[in-house]
Structure 1
Amino acid sequence: MNNKIIALILILCCAFLVGTPALANTTDNSSSVTTPQQITRNRLFGLTRFETAKVISEYYGNGQVENVILATGNQFADALSASVLAHEKEAPILLVDSTVDGSKDAFDYVFQHLDPAGTVYIIGGTGIIGTEFEIKLSDLGFKNVVRVAGLDRYDTSHKVARALKDTTVSTVVISSGEQYPDALSISSFAANKGWPILLSSYDALPQDIKNFLLDRKPSKVYITGGAGVISNNVLSEITTLLPEASVERLMGESQFDTNIIIAETFAPKPLTVYLATGYDFADALAGSTVAAKNGDPIIFIDPSVPTLPKSVARYFGKLYANIISPGIVSFGGSGVVTDEIMKITSDLIVGAVNETSIYGIDDLNITVIQKENYLLPATVQANLYNSDRIEVPVRWNPIAVDTNNTGLSVYDGLVEGYGKLIKLNLTVKEPEPILISKYSTHFDSSQVNRTENIRISAKAIDGKLLAPGERFSFNAVVGERTAEAGYKEALIIEGDVFTPGLGGGICQVSSTLYNAVLLGNLEIVERHAHSLPISYVPPGQDATVAYPFLDFKFKNSLKHYLLIRSLVEENTLNFWIYQKVEV
């Protein structure tokens, strides 16, 4: 690493410490591992993809540059072929948003680092990067602006290939124009060697691409991805056009597998491995210029899992086996490539762990019913460094399980070869009660006082437990309806008229509970009808109450405990009566 880059790393690290998006640099110094050289772990990142591209560009060229590439950060298609042109022009790739105002990071870099006589290459048509960008560049004093654009993504890749200086192309790459991972997997290698990346649709080679192949007659063609990405029909078209050429597919079962096959083919001994998410194009695209300097690989990680894809872990394991200790650089922040992923990568490269070693075992949370027979598991599922999951034997302490009493018990598990204790949190709970009846009524929630009275009285009953033979008294449970208890004035029935009274509305609660009791076939002890018709239950199914004279009472005539639950939600009052299961 030259003095200029070292100085840049130190400057950016200082910026990182005060909160500015920059490059973070750490070194693994594990005393228990002997390695051919120290493993450096660096991070190039910003708060957005556009800022990350700027940070990467400053890492690539922090002084004055003669050329820059502008590519969209919102769509991958037009930009996929830009890496080769960027390497040839020694130009960083800056990502722009859909507007000039949203592309401040790119313009800041251009203003600070581009030679006034330098050239800006815009990749893609005006529908992708508008003419306002050219106007802005002109206003800043940059007059040399070259737009490389075709009618579509395929034509743009053709135009980029035509823009390369080397007209004697020995090798070309054919990649999907509909998916980005495979093209980005090979981008640093193709750029380093000057191989054009030509985009194809799934089932047919575009005519401009055919013309380019016929014109340049390369002796080698790499197709990135399997037949599910670029069909065998395209392969047949290529072999027909170039009968003397060697055509080779680079493919795996997934984008991560293809990524590693490409890395193993072209970078068996990398100086640096660059990590980027396999689920977005922006960071890898911007970083391809950095990786292309020495023809190093961009390795895809899967941010949806805590460890590495199987093929990726195997690749790093092979580096250790061959005593190859490359540095590690992440494109993107810790939300994309986590610090843990960088550590795992380092550990695999130095041999501190094996790809099939146990990375982690999750604690277990088990819930069982009281007095239920339960045996502690003989195995647990372990997560390996290569993202595989396997069952491994486990020994528990204590080994005996007692489910007679409710509550939480914690068991410690020990797995051979895994240095951490596993926790099994066993919760013993009572059996769920059996629903024997339910009844609901509706009310006008805009009548605020009446609604509040319903809520207070229903809440007083919720959770009431009745033993076999025990009697329930509404007045005893709910209590006297007073202002101190929170009750408000609402309409009540006195004789044959409706009149304001404290606690108006609670008769709907007693009537709703009465109907739930009827459905449960429980014994009614006391019940009184209203003197006027009411609307919330059918005629003859009401139960009025008036403290302390009129009460609603019933008896738990069953041989089991009963649990009463109530809930007021919006304009509905619900009562449930459950039978408690004895253990």
Structure 2
Amino acid sequence: MNKNILVLILCCGIFLGTPSFAAADNLDPASSPPSIINVNRIFGQTKYETAKAISESYSAGKVKCVFLATGEDFADALSASVLAYEKKAPILLVDTSVAGSKDAFSYIAEHLESAGTVYIIGGRGIIGQEFDAKLNDLGFQNVVRIAGMDRYDTSYMIAASLQDEPLSTVVISSGEQYPDALSISSFAANKGWPILLSPYDALPREMENFLQEKKPSKVIIAGGTGIISDHIKSQISGLLPQASIQRLTGQSRFDTNVVIAETFAPNPATVYLATGYSFADALAGSALAAEQRNPIIFIDPAEQTLPESAASYFERLYDNKVCPNLVSLGGSGVVSDDVMKNSSDLILGKVKGTSIYSISDITAAVTQNESYSLPATVQAKLYNSETIDLPVQWNSKVANTSKVGSNVYEGTVNGYGKIIKLTLTVKEPMPIAQYSTQFDATLVNRTENLCLAAKALNGKLLAPGERFSFNKSVGERTAEAGYKEALIIEGNTFTPGLGGGVCQVSSTLYNAVVLAHLEVLERHPHTLPVGYVPSGQDATVAYPVLDFKFRNSTDSYLLIRSLIEGNTLTFQLYKKTGN
């Protein structure tokens, strides 16, 4: 196998033998429902590698023609699939430079006959002259460039390059958006119907001339009135009064994609999956899909489930006992393994579009003792990408929020075989007050004293109306208690003393108490200014003479928390509803 063709076989009750591409006309709707499906993936590491891998799948031998289209913009190449199919040629994507297009040139060097033709779609502003020169250097002299003045003119020139035969049908699609043109490209290519690109509200003169010259008996408009107006439909009616005009459209690109697929491929032999939000893989795959007039079904790469219209299409295939091969155009980052398996399961009837695909676990957070009701419903994701609310039964009727921490509740939903988990995190309430001060951590003795006093207060719980005494709570500052000498204020001087730094603890707590509007019973200022709180906001203590006291004047328990981080001391005061 060529290194640029990477094929992944996914196993989900899936046959791993040689894929069988039965003709759609041979399918017997009265036969037993299939139980296996062939699933392949064609991809590379980039869109250019993927285009080469698709081309290898299209033809691993020699080819007489190849098409080069830019991988950077969709406009010029949208109509190319029809001509590429007529020429039995793969579509390769190129970058803006020859150096960035090694995958395309590698395929050409390996597979294009020496006298073969390279069709370049788009002007030299899109695919530069250096590409012509590189092809000539490789020995390929037959280089045909198809380019008009703009994307519309280019589509006309591609249509004019088709075999000069009476046209039964012409396709009109938007030149401003790619999904609708790509949705119909494999079918139009298989039938030889040119795809003409149109602006929103007026046909270019070249298109009018083409339609008047070819006089098709039918015109198909791919897309809704939001991208191809009814004025254009009226223009076509005026130009071709005998022709029937059919508009194929849905509410979204995915809906229109499936409307087109159901119109032309109700019983496909193979279904190709590609992202609906990028043109490159579907464009390269259009020539491959055209071989048996198979659909390219768009998926949303951001979802693990199918668009609703695609899921319905796969369900109808199951109802009609049609079991096509599934081929992903692009790697798992574009068409995920889950999307492949879910598509297979829908086609095999293992699930329905309205079956539950997933229900995510839930997380919630509440404050301690806050009322919380376990949800009566949970949001379920269906296989058709819809989300619905479904009743849930929990293993407990009441959520406990009395204790700080996390609790896990388990729930069940009818029709869903997995347990749903709700993780409820109970957090401490926000403090009713908080105050911080900074200290010099290089003053080791003072820092140790500060930490010792702050630790003594951490977790202190006061009942409603209870009085607090700093000296009583911290205790006497002695060497036996672990306190060390550091500077203290005595009168109007700083002097060494046991417990220096403790007054910063009492002053920090005092400021938190003031912010909480608690009743201060006793507080003493220093005889000299201190630098850790603003002037007049300090509270000195000296066991047993000077104390700082306050009363819990709330109707709740009051919790004192002290925290030391780096050189910052913080006190937080919390209301608690229980002891």
TM-score normalized by the length of structure 1: 0.81
The 5 Å alignment of 1:168-179 reads 168-179=166-177
Alpha carbons of 1:91 and 1:371: their partners in 2 closer, same or farther (altered >3 Å)? same
Give 1:366 shift: 4.6
Alpha carbons of 1:424 and 1:203: their partners in 2 closer, same or farther (altered >3 Å)? same
1:241 aligns with 2:239: yes
Alpha carbons of 1:58 and 1:552: their partners in 2 closer, same or farther (altered >3 Å)? farther
Of 114-123 and 387-396, deviating more is 387-396
Equivalent residue in structure 2 for 1:88, among 86, 89, 114: 86
The 5 Å alignment of 1:298-317 reads 298-317=296-315
Indicate the SS of the match to 1:165: coil
1:518 aligns with 2:514: yes
Equivalent residue in structure 2 for 1:25, among 1, 4, 9: 9
**Could you tell me how far apart the structure 2 residues matched to 1:97 and 1:551 are?**
82
Give 1:203 shift: 2.0
Indicate the SS of the match to 1:133: helix
What is aligned with 1:223? 221
Indicate the SS of the match to 1:249: strand
1:423 aligns with 2:407: no
Indicate the SS of the match to 2:133: helix
**Could you tell me how far apart the structure 1 residues matched to 2:124 and 2:527 are?**
79
Residue deviations 1:447-491, cap 9 Å, x none?
9969xx9999699679654424464759987999x9xx9x9x9x9
Give 1:417 shift: 3.3
8 Å contact 1:176–1:230 — kept in the other structure? Answer: yes
8 Å contact 1:27–1:39 — kept in the other structure? Answer: no
Alpha carbons of 1:371 and 1:575: their partners in 2 closer, same or farther (altered >3 Å)? closer
Alpha carbons of 1:463 and 1:139: their partners in 2 closer, same or farther (altered >3 Å)? farther
**Could you tell me how far apart the structure 1 residues matched to 2:423 and 2:458 are?**
26
The 5 Å alignment of 1:478-489 reads none
Indicate the SS of the match to 1:172: strand
Equivalent residue in structure 1 for 2:552, among 557, 573, 580: 557
8 Å contact 1:84–1:195 — kept in the other structure? Answer: yes
Alpha carbons of 1:233 and 1:531: their partners in 2 closer, same or farther (altered >3 Å)? same
The 5 Å alignment of 1:70-469 reads 70-367=68-365, 376-396=374-394, 398-401=395-398, 403=400, 405-406=402-403, 408-418=406-416, 420-425=417-422, 427=424, 429=426, 432-433=428-429, 435-439=431-435, 464-468=459-463, 469=466
**Could you tell me how far apart the structure 1 residues matched to 2:458 and 2:149 are?**
71
8 Å contact 2:541–2:548 — kept in the other structure? Answer: no
Indicate the SS of the match to 1:39: coil
8 Å contact 2:48–2:103 — kept in the other structure? Answer: yes
What is aligned with 1:8? none
Give 1:163 shift: 2.0
**Could you tell me how far apart the structure 2 residues matched to 1:492 and 1:276 are?**
77
8 Å contact 1:71–1:122 — kept in the other structure? Answer: yes
**Could you tell me how far apart the structure 1 residues matched to 2:298 and 2:547 are?**
71
8 Å contact 2:14–2:39 — kept in the other structure? Answer: no
8 Å contact 2:529–2:535 — kept in the other structure? Answer: no
**Could you tell me how far apart the structure 1 residues matched to 2:372 and 2:362 are?**
14
**Could you tell me how far apart the structure 1 residues matched to 2:153 and 2:6 are?**
36
What is aligned with 1:579? 575
- Number of aligned pairs? 552
Instruction: Give the percent of matched residue pairs that are identical in Structure 1 and Structure 2.
Output: 56
Alpha carbons of 1:81 and 1:549: their partners in 2 closer, same or farther (altered >3 Å)? farther
Indicate the SS of the match to 1:25: coil
AA matched with 1:299: I
Alpha carbons of 1:456 and 1:306: their partners in 2 closer, same or farther (altered >3 Å)? farther
Alpha carbons of 1:427 and 1:28: their partners in 2 closer, same or farther (altered >3 Å)? closer
Q: Select the structure of larger CA radius of gyration.
A: 2
Give 1:42 shift: 0.2
Give 1:555 shift: 3.6
**Could you tell me how far apart the structure 1 residues matched to 2:472 and 2:159 are?**
89
CA RMSD of aligned residues (A): 4.2
**Could you tell me how far apart the structure 1 residues matched to 2:492 and 2:132 are?**
86
Equivalent residue in structure 2 for 1:44, among 42, 58, 67: 42
8 Å contact 1:27–1:40 — kept in the other structure? Answer: no
8 Å contact 1:436–1:577 — kept in the other structure? Answer: yes
8 Å contact 2:449–2:501 — kept in the other structure? Answer: no
Indicate the SS of the match to 2:38: strand
Of 134-143 and 513-522, deviating more is 513-522
**Could you tell me how far apart the structure 2 residues matched to 1:168 and 1:505 are?**
100
Give 1:36 shift: 4.2
**Could you tell me how far apart the structure 2 residues matched to 1:139 and 1:478 are?**
93
Give 1:316 shift: 0.8
**Could you tell me how far apart the structure 2 residues matched to 1:275 and 1:570 are?**
57
**Could you tell me how far apart the structure 2 residues matched to 1:326 and 1:386 are?**
19
Structure 2 gap ranges (5+): 16-30
8 Å contact 2:412–2:420 — kept in the other structure? Answer: no
AA matched with 2:398: V
Indicate the SS of the match to 2:432: strand
**Could you tell me how far apart the structure 1 residues matched to 2:569 and 2:503 are?**
12
Alpha carbons of 1:475 and 1:371: their partners in 2 closer, same or farther (altered >3 Å)? closer
Give 1:410 shift: 4.4
Alpha carbons of 1:533 and 1:161: their partners in 2 closer, same or farther (altered >3 Å)? same
Alpha carbons of 1:403 and 1:574: their partners in 2 closer, same or farther (altered >3 Å)? closer
Of 146-155 and 549-558, deviating more is 549-558
Indicate the SS of the match to 1:233: helix
**Could you tell me how far apart the structure 2 residues matched to 1:178 and 1:572 are?**
61
Residue deviations 1:53-106, cap 9 Å, x none?
111111111111111111111211222111112111111111112222222211
Residue deviations 1:331-384, cap 9 Å, x none?
111111111111111111122222222223333445556666666555443332
What is aligned with 2:20? none
Residue deviations 1:183-242, cap 9 Å, x none?
111111111111111111222222222222222222211111111121222222222222
**Could you tell me how far apart the structure 2 residues matched to 1:193 and 1:177 are?**
21
What is aligned with 1:5? none
**Could you tell me how far apart the structure 1 residues matched to 2:567 and 2:210 are?**
72
Indicate the SS of the match to 1:265: helix
Give 1:50 shift: 1.1
Give 1:324 shift: 1.1
**Could you tell me how far apart the structure 2 residues matched to 1:232 and 1:132 are?**
42
What is aligned with 1:3? none
